[in-house]
Amino acid sequence: MGQIIFVVARESIEALLIIGILFAWMSSREGAEKGKHWIYAGVLAGLGLATLLALTLVGVTHFLGGEARSWFEIGMLTLASTLIVQMVMWMRSHGRTLKKEMENRLDRDLSAANWWGVFFLVTIAVGREGSETAMFLYGSFLQLATWASYASFFGAVAIGLAIAMVLFYLLQLGNRFISWKWFFRITEIMLLFLGASLFLTASEKLLNGYLSNVDLPAWFYSSVWNTSHILSESSLIGDLLASLFAYRSRPIGWDLVTVAVFALVVWRLLAWQSTRQAQQTRPQTQAAANPGG
């Protein structure tokens, strides 16, 4: 029972972090309420995806072969990490309200595109970890025999979900009691770290999979430092830090290059976004002041 509680809570945290932040954002934005429907739709689609992927794990269907599956995982991870960065940029570009932008048709189309981003991000977040949970629960379910074991099984699933939901509610509470500016500053960093972590996992799958026959320079494979005696990923905290914050106790050259590339790209994108916004507001105010010319 303890094992079921642990697995359910552990595997739901990543998805609930993403959903919780998006949900809090939409609750506090005028005109963004509609976005919640996209979250719900994404959760439903994610559950569908999780079931489908769980079936391939169990071996019921083989619509993805071993190699295709690997590419699919790498693709999902990269897409999720890209969508997270895009989501952060979108949140940055909108202040307290979406209402004004909604009146402009071009912005309305842009927002529609962003709703699809929300939808796919939530779908992947729920589907990816959900498939492992679904397979685990199905496997444990098969072992059940007595009434008491069924009761304890469903009880454990409920407790596990409840523990993970605490994170979701903390995010909603935080949104209410901390000023938006601070809430966003904190959650933005959490999202970007999660994005980096997903990107790192994708690159490691690439290194162990398709690049396994390629000989890269030796320093790519060498550990750069070792903190496993302080905090190992096999501990609960180390494991959470690894999946949410890209923590590695023995990173190799490849890991550092990957994270550096991610950080550099995100930094350039955010810098480009703020200069562009500064440029856009200036001509608009000039045009407003001088409508004829």
Q: What is the dihedral of CA 36, 39, 41, 42, to 10 degrees?
A: 170
Question: Which residues in 88-127 contact another protein (CB under 8 A)?
Answer: none
- Closest distance between another protein and the C-beta of residue 89, in Å? 29
How many residues interact with another protein (rule CB under 8 A)?
A: 43
Q: 98: which DSSP letter?
A: S
Q: Given CA atoms 81, 167, 243, 231 in this order, what sign does their dihedral have? A: positive
CB 115 within 8 A of CB 35: yes
CB 198 within 8 A of CB 190: no
278 lies in the binding site for another protein (CB under 8 A): no
Give the helix/strand (H/E) hosting 240.
Answer: helix 236-245
- Closest distance between another protein and the C-beta of residue 32, in Å? 35
Note the Cα 161 to chain centre separation in Å: 18
139 lies in the binding site for another protein (CB under 8 A): yes
CA gap 246, 202 in Å, rounded: 12
- Closest distance between another protein and the C-beta of residue 247, in Å? 8
Q: Give whichever of 65 and 139 is closer to another protein, judged by the CB atom.
A: 139
Note the Cα 226 to chain centre separation in Å: 27
Question: Which residues in 22-41 contact another protein (CB under 8 A)?
Answer: none
Q: 226: which DSSP letter?
A: -
Among 89, 204, 231, 270, binds another protein (CB under 8 A): 204
Instruction: Name the segment binding another protein (CB under 8 A); options: 106-114, 184-192, 249-257, 281-289.
Output: 249-257
- Farthest-apart Cα atoms in the chain, separation: 81
Instruction: Name the segment binding another protein (CB under 8 A); options: 51-59, 95-103, 106-114, 187-195.
Output: 51-59
128 lies in the binding site for another protein (CB under 8 A): no
Give the residues lining the site for another protein (CB under 8 A): 1-3, 5-7, 10, 57-59, 132, 135-136, 138-140, 143, 152, 201, 204, 207-209, 212, 218, 221-223, 226, 228, 232-234, 236, 238-239, 242, 248-250, 252, 254-255
